[in-house]
Structure 1
Amino acid sequence: MQRIITSALFVVLLLGVDWYVFQAVRTVSQGASAATQRLITGGYWFITLVSLLGIAWMAVSRGTPPTALRTYLTSAILVLFVSKLVVVLFLLVDDASRLVRYVFAKFSNQPAVAGADGSSGISRSQFISRLGLLAAALPFTSLLWGMAKGATDYQVKRVVLRFPNLPASFEGFKLLQISDLHTGSFNANPEPLERAVALINKQNADLVFMTGDLVNNIATEVEPHIATLAKIESRHPIYSILGNHDYADYVDWSEQGGASAKAANLDRLKQNHAKIGWQLLLDESHTIERNGEKIAVLGVQNWGAQMRFPKYGNLAQAHAGSGDAAFKILLSHDPSHWEAQVLEYPDIDLTLSGHTHGMQFGVNLPGFKWSPVQYVYKQWAGLYSQGQQHLYVNTGLGFIGYPGRVGFLPEITVFELRRA
């Protein structure tokens, strides 16, 4: 019922936005022939009708995990909606200007200033409408590109990190991090992940980590990709942890066997990590040894300080197992864990997280990065430091919800460890 109410409210909002934006479309098309105007009007409202029918279908249908059709239909509707909101912003500015001039004229007993409208050229309304529609083309084309290309445009990022306490035997040691694979979003198509694995192996890493969210919700989502992921190469064991999506907390299990079915799903997911060949760290620590010198790799279950994510992880337990290793790396899916707990352990030198995806949308330029997710997470993409401790937030290899990426492309991170 709540889903139907939410969908109904969205429909009302969508219709209001559509009507407002149509005023701009009608203004811009004023100079066209009557037949062309009818075609534009019919096409505009036909697309709106298809969107409404899509929303209605998703509101009454059920399905977990979401089908590819549901995912792409939802995304198409949101792409259109976001683009129309850009037009609305321009129209609101124009209407606010008109309102101010009208109020000024009323109180000053002066005639309202006509503004930029004149006997030649285009009117103010036409100019604002054209400008708004042109501006809307930017997010529209960007989001479509993100779906067609950006979602699997894998990028390798290289980071050199220096530590005064790094054992000499680990000078030049190469770590590789992947995160947030969300294999359910790839359905059964192996090609994208095959390309990603080939690129991972090309980096010739000493140690590989996967920092959570192997699936969207259900353990079986990864099973078509086990053979592909098992090809990832590392000189040492590949370590993995669980992310918030791996616990299937977002699935309604009431009609699927309840708590026992949910627990069985998690057990199956853990077994799938083993089938891939990954060592899943559940609040525990392992050591890597070179020439008698050791570094420790700690891995905790998901622990998030933000929103309402359950706190499954036990950092104290994982840390206790790391002993007196000279250098310690922590795998923790949610970066909000770093300031909430991790910094209380000064011997944890490097924390590797994921989770945010960079919201799969934003501006990512040298020296400047922006995404809406930064208003929720203080550490959300890239490298952060406090004293001698460092956190790196990987923006993820896969995608969920919006089946694309703009600005923050799928990431494979390679770290080279150096002595300070």
Structure 2
Amino acid sequence: MLRWIVFIVVYLVMGFYALQALKTVTRFPYVYYAFMGLSLLVIGNFVYQFTIGEEAGRVLSRPKSYAFGFLLAMITFKIITIGFLFSEDLFRFLAASYQKFFGGSGEFSLPTRRRFLSLMAMGIAAIPFGALLYGMYRGKYNFQVLKYEMEFDDLPEAFDGYQITQISDVHSGSFDNREKIEYAIDLINKQQSDAIFFTGDMVNNKTDEMKPWADLFSRLKAPDGIYSILGNHDYGDYIPWDTPELKRQNLEELKQLQRDMGFDLLLNESRYLQKGSEQLALIGVENWGRGGFKKAGDLDKATAGVRSEDFKILLSHDPSHWEDVVIHHPYHFHLTLSGHTHGMQFGIEIPGWVKWSPVKWRYKYWAGIYEELGQFINVNRGFGFLGYPGRVGIWPEITVITLKRKSSVAAA
């Protein structure tokens, strides 16, 4: 209870301080009241959703996610506005102190706030505020198809030009628009890839979250199959269960649901994709993550039936597995496909110019293709969303990779 009281008091103080910018910009009282009313509505809804309105058995229900999203937008607006106001107030205080002690007046009188600075503060604060709202309204379903060609010296000739589609981090428990998900499924099929790979986090917590969407994902088609692995959220570790048996049952139901949808779920296993007399090895591990995340992935077990000379594609949900284990393994894994980071669902990307997200402070490999020790990884930015119910700058991703044999490229 104490933390809620402290949080609300701090939030209200921030609101009162930010209100001073409005009072400098306009003299219409209804603007002040509208700002205060909106601010109170946002904090009231947030407190309600996370206390007496909390939905049992879920970490973040849709109402809670939206309550968090609106609060994040409002706090961002206030913090930026306050940053400008505090800087000016510091200057006003120093100016008044100088006037009192060295100006000869003997009085301490603060200069009035400058209207231009308040306007600039609110204008700048409105940019991330609007972006966060847009991310909740449109950005979360702004699906992008990212296409890459990747060249390998030892790719089997029969797989020259082989195309794969990767999706990751569906988080079906967060979906709220069937039409948009149907569009995304059609967009995946439109790529006409030879194989589709899903790299984990089908749900937020429970198998039931996926059931309303299973018929849509069952429409995915690829000549050589659809292959999947588990992510950290698929194990149901982030909610309480009445008994361990219910938790185990939930996981088994999710495994069966994926199979019913036509997914070949790899649980520390491997498969061979065949083209004529040539093949490549597809390996899928369970989740393995650094920093307290579940470590069920067993790379040695998964590669038990794989030869060292095989061309290998590895599906592993968390890119920290690639950094800590995969690239140092005795086997050479030509291409690893991961997800997990979501690109934090927030950042700035201008191809060829800027690629930034706060998630880079936690994950060295957080979005796109990287190379280490002659091995490659693609970190998919995610299909769905979790927590903040939107995306800003880091859009939901469908990755299409065409494998090329380097000698054939040179000959062309």
- Give your verdict on TM over 0.5: yes
Contact 1:190 1:224 in 2 (8 A): no
Distance 1:249 1:173, change over 3 A: same
Shift of 1:12: 2.5
Instruction: Report the AA paired with residue 45 of structure 2.
Output: G
Amino acid in structure 2 at the alignment position of 1:335: P
Does the CA-based 8 Å contact 2:165-2:399 persist in structure 1? yes
TM-score (norm. length: structure 2): 0.91
Aligned to 2:243: 258
Q: Distance in 2 between the 1:20 and 1:74 partners? A: 22
Match of 1:333 in 2: 317
Amino acid at match of 1:355: H
Per-residue deviation, 1:388: 1.6
The one-letter code sitting in structure 2 at the alignment partner of 1:44 is: F
CA distance in 2, matches of 1:7, 1:359: 26
- Give the conservation status (yes or no) of the 8 Å contact 2:46–2:64: no
**1:409 matched to 2:395:** yes
Contact 2:69-2:388 within 8 A present in 1 as well: yes
Q: Is 1:21 matched up with 2:28? A: no
Q: Secondary structure at the match of 1:27?
A: helix
> What's the offset of the Cα at 1:55?
2.7
Alignment partner of 1:294 is 2:253: no
Question: CA offsets per residue over residues 181-218 of structure 1, 9 Å max, x none?
Answer: 1111115x432221111101110101110000101111
Q: Counterpart in 1 of 2:115?
A: 126
Deviation at 1:48, TM superposition (A): 2.3
3-state SS, counterpart of residue 213 of structure 2: helix
Looking at structure 1, the residues matched to 255 and 148 of structure 2 have their Cα atoms a distance apart, in angstroms, of 30
One of 143, 158, 161 as aligned partner of 1:154: 143
Report percent identity of matched pairs: 41
Aligned pair count? Answer: 397
Shift in CA distance, 83/341, structure 1 to aligned 2, threshold 3 Å: same
**Aligned partners of 2:74 and 2:405: how far apart in 1?**
51
**Residue 370 of structure 1, CA deviation:** 1.0
Residue ranges of structure 1 left out of the alignment (5+ in a row): none
Structure 1 residue 334, shift from structure 2 partner: 0.7
Instruction: Compute the displacement of 1:378 (Å).
Output: 0.7
Task: Confirm or deny: 8 A CA contact 1:297 1:322 kept in the other structure.
Answer: no
Residue in structure 2 matched with residue 274 of structure 1 by the alignment: 259
Provide, for residues 64-92 of structure 1, a one-character-per-residue CA deviation record: whole Å limited to 9, x for no partner.
33443222222112111112111112122
Aligned 1:338-377 pairs, distance under 5 A: 338-345=322-329, 346-366=331-351, 367-377=353-363
Matched, 1:60 2:48: no
Superposed, 1:105-254 pairs within 5 Å as 109-110=102-103, 125-187=114-176, 189-253=177-241
Runs of 4+ in 1 over 4 A off after TM superposition: 99-107
Contact 1:295-1:325 within 8 A present in 2 as well: no
Is 1:385 equivalent to 2:371 in the alignment? Answer: yes
Residue identity in the other structure for 2:6: L
Q: Distance in 1 between matches of 2:68 and 2:201?
A: 22
Given that 2:158 and 2:276 are in contact with CA atoms closer than 8 Å, whether structure 1 keeps it comes out as yes
Q: Measure the CA separation in 2 of the matches of 1:297 and 1:198.
A: 25
- Shift, 1:52, TM fit: 2.9
Higher mean C-alpha deviation, range 310-319 or range 54-63: 54-63
**What is the match of residue 41 of structure 1?**
32
In the TM superposition, what is the alpha-carbon distance from 1:294 to its structure 2 partner? 1.3
Relative to the length of structure 1, the TM-score reads 0.90
> For the structure 1 residues 13 and 258, does the alpha-carbon distance in structure 2 shift closer, same or farther, using more than 3 Å as the test?
farther
